Chain A
Amino acid sequence: MKLNKKFISLFLITNTIFYVSTLDASNYDNDVLNIFSKILPRFIIMSTQKKKIKDNIEICILNDDVDKLTAESLQKKIKKNYPDGIQNYPIHLLNSNYKVLDTCKNSQLIFLFNSNEKDINRALLFAQENTILSMSYDEKLLESGVAISLFIGRKVLPYINMEAIKNNKIELNGMLLRVSKIYYGKEK
């Protein structure tokens, strides 16, 4: 009986850990996503990425399968906020898995949902090689080299990794810098 009790407890704990880890992907704040949905196209328009626009503004949302629904939710929000695009540019949204980065080759911006470190680094290398502006939900990814995230403190601010921006050879509009917080790296 005692063993059964121990087994049942272990089962419950394991299950809890499993659900927590699997539910982690869908644990994105709706308001924050809403802010991202507003920010994404504007960062393209207000940076040198604007020059890369051919016919459409192309935003690639990279996610693991577990975040697919959230990615779609973000897509919807962007379309809702910019139904006619921005500055007469229609917005083309790509939902891509970390495994198939090439689909994002012509994008001006890639948005990174959480993934494993390896995929993240690969995606960031890809962004650097193709001069694509990277933006992540998680500000911790700034440390890995993501260019932009959101600082969520007493207030919410765009969080800009100037070093990454510089490495990606992208320039931002000064006004964006005025409303953003600059990321100086973990050690700083």
Chain B
Amino acid sequence: MRSLSIEIKIIIGIVLFTIFIVGAERYQLSDNIMNQFIKSKKSKNTLLIDTISPIIALNISLGLDSSNQEYLEQVIKQNSDIEFLNLTDTNKETIFTYTKNLKQVIKKGTKNVNFSSKNIIDSISGAQLGFIYIFFSNKEFEEVRKKNMQTTITISAFTLFLLFFFILLIKGELRELKNLSKDVLNYDPKLNNLTLTKSNRLDEVGVIHNAIMSMIQKISSHAKDLDEINLLLESKVKIRTKELEEANEKLKELSITDALTQLYNRRYFEKHLEDIWDIASRKNVQISIIMCDIDFFKHVNDTYGHLVGDDVLKKVAHAMKISLKRSSDFIARYGGEEFIIVMYDTDIKGAQELCTTIQSNLKDINYIDSNNSQIKPITLSFGISSIIPSTDTNRESLIKHADIALYRAKESGRNCIRMDEIV
């Protein structure tokens, strides 16, 4: 059965259904024909009684009683469907009677029997001579009808049984397709969780099953390839991202760092001051700022050259940087030989201490020229300014006051610390 295609099975189903319908129609048709037969038989019976009654009447009127008997016997012989016949005279006394089956009591309304009756009238005088009634059997028609019904029921039952069987068969196959679709829907290429095996069926279900299986194998293979490609791409992206992040970091560093001294540049200082100003303003914390300048740096440049000047700048920057003790302390190159330090939550005294530390660290540095000859020690002038930020003050003012203090330190002979506290 499984080698038959669904198309053929459906055709068989349709044929069976058609047989069922045709069978029912056949029964209806034959039943109608039977009814027509019975109807025509009734007409024939009426015709028969209409035909024989004048002859009977004539025989009676002519006094030929024996003729009537023989005539009626002949009529009965020629009409085997007559079950019962009775001829009576006007006094209801029987002249002739016939019963086919003596055991069967026939009366009006008996099953499979038609009743016809007629008065025997003398055609000459119009007088009633008697009465005849005949029961005709419909047995043969009823038997045909019964047989027909039995045949129809047998065919219908058999057809219905086959139809039901085919419906179950088709339903079973559709269920198999449904299960297949369920498996396909649950299939995850990453898990490769399809447990289909090759179908041996030759019908459409088998073809679809194997086609889906082949497709899933291809999908599985492609998914594996894709996974490998993805992994490769992911690692490449990671490397690229890392490189990019490093480049960005470097770029950022470059953008905020002075290339020579490796200290933050002035632009970053301004941003940092802006940030720290806001925080200090909110927390009502004091900020101190130290502005310092290398003493006689132009002389170093002019005397020893720019390379030595640069080296001095580097060494001074380093000395300043290592002097910072807190992570919150910030140092930047402000100008050519100018540096600036921002100290959060620090008063002037604290700033002054840092300046002293820087001066001390500067003493430990050896400055050599291009001929490796020691040059004069380098000193710095410091200008300190301090403020608790508020709505009445601003950053520019703080820087300006530090600059003023630095100017005073330069005026005072350099290598000294001056403060300009903002009131």
Q: Are A35 and B54 in contact (CB under 8 A)?
A: no
Neighbouring A residues of B71 by C-beta, 8 Å:
179
Question: Residue A52 at the B interface, CB < 8 A?
Answer: no
Q: Are B64 and A35 in contact (CB under 8 A)?
A: yes
Question: Residue B63 at the A interface, CB < 8 A?
Answer: yes
**Complex formed: what's the CA distance from A175 to B67 in Å?**
14
Neighbouring A residues of B64 by C-beta, 8 Å:
35, 155-158, 179
Q: Are B67 and A157 in contact (CB under 8 A)?
A: yes
**Complex formed: what's the CA distance from A179 to B59 in Å?**
7
**Complex formed: what's the CA distance from A38 to B168 in Å?**
83
Q: Are B124 and A39 in contact (CB under 8 A)?
A: no
Question: Residue A154 at the B interface, CB < 8 A?
Answer: yes
Question: Residue B223 at the A interface, CB < 8 A?
Answer: no
Q: Are A86 and B55 in contact (CB under 8 A)?
A: no
Contacting residue for A178 out of B55, B66, B69, B125, CB 8 A:
B55
Q: Are A154 and B63 in contact (CB under 8 A)?
A: no
Q: How large is the interface on A (under 10, 10 to 19, 20 to 34, 35 or more residues)?
A: 10 to 19
Q: Are B124 and A87 in contact (CB under 8 A)?
A: yes
Which residue from chain A places its CB closest to the CB of B60 in the assembled complex?
A38
**Complex formed: what's the CA distance from A96 to B233 in Å?**
151
Q: Are B62 and A158 in contact (CB under 8 A)?
A: yes
| Binary per-residue interface labels of chain B (48-86) against chain A in the complex, 1 for a CB within 8 Å, 0 otherwise | 000000110011011110110111000000000000000
| Binary per-residue interface labels of chain B (90-121) against chain A in the complex, 1 for a CB within 8 Å, 0 otherwise | 00000000000000000000000000000000
Task: Report the minimum CB–CB distance from A120 to chain B (whole Å).
Answer: 25
Q: Are A86 and B125 in contact (CB under 8 A)?
A: yes
Which residue from chain A places its CB closest to the CB of B52 in the assembled complex?
A178
**Complex formed: what's the CA distance from A138 to B59 in Å?**
21
Task: Report the minimum CB–CB distance from A135 to chain B (whole Å).
Answer: 13
| Binary per-residue interface labels of chain B (116-154) against chain A in the complex, 1 for a CB within 8 Å, 0 otherwise | 000000011100000000000000000000000000000
Neighbouring B residues of A176 by C-beta, 8 Å:
58
On whether A39 and B66 interact (CB within 8 A), knowing A175-B123, A178-B55, the answer reads no
Question: Residue A106 at the B interface, CB < 8 A?
Answer: no
A residues 110-157 near B (Cβ < 8 Å) are: 154-157
On whether A155 and B124 interact (CB within 8 A), knowing A39-B62, A42-B61, A175-B58, the answer reads no
**Complex formed: what's the CA distance from A46 to B54 in Å?**
13
Q: Are B62 and A42 in contact (CB under 8 A)?
A: yes
Q: How large is the interface on B (under 10, 10 to 19, 20 to 34, 35 or more residues)?
A: 10 to 19
**Complex formed: what's the CA distance from A34 to B58 in Å?**
15
Contacting residue for B55 out of A35, A87, A158, A175, CB 8 A:
A175
Question: Residue A170 at the B interface, CB < 8 A?
Answer: no
Task: Report the minimum CB–CB distance from B61 to chain A (whole Å).
Answer: 7
Task: Report the minimum CB–CB distance from B87 to chain A (whole Å).
Answer: 15
Which residue from chain B places its CB closest to the CB of A153 in the assembled complex?
B66
Q: Are B125 and A179 in contact (CB under 8 A)?
A: no
Question: Residue A53 at the B interface, CB < 8 A?
Answer: no
Neighbouring A residues of B125 by C-beta, 8 Å:
86-87
Contacting residue for B61 out of A38, A155, A157, CB 8 A:
A38
Question: Residue A45 at the B interface, CB < 8 A?
Answer: yes
Contacting residue for A38 out of B55, B63, B69, B123, CB 8 A:
B63
Neighbouring B residues of A156 by C-beta, 8 Å:
64, 66-67
Neighbouring B residues of A39 by C-beta, 8 Å:
62-63
Task: Report the minimum CB–CB distance from A82 to chain B (whole Å).
Answer: 9
Task: Report the minimum CB–CB distance from B188 to chain A (whole Å).
Answer: 101
Contacting residue for A154 out of B58, B66, B124, CB 8 A:
B66
Known: A156-B67, A179-B58, A179-B59. 20 other contacts (CB 8 A): A35-B63, A35-B64, A38-B62, A39-B62, A39-B63, A42-B124, A45-B124, A87-B125, A154-B66, A154-B70, A155-B64, A155-B66, A155-B67, A155-B69, A156-B64, A157-B67, A158-B64, A175-B54, A175-B58, A178-B58
Give the A-binding residues of B (Cβ under 8 A): 54-55, 58-59, 61-64, 66-67, 69-71, 123-125
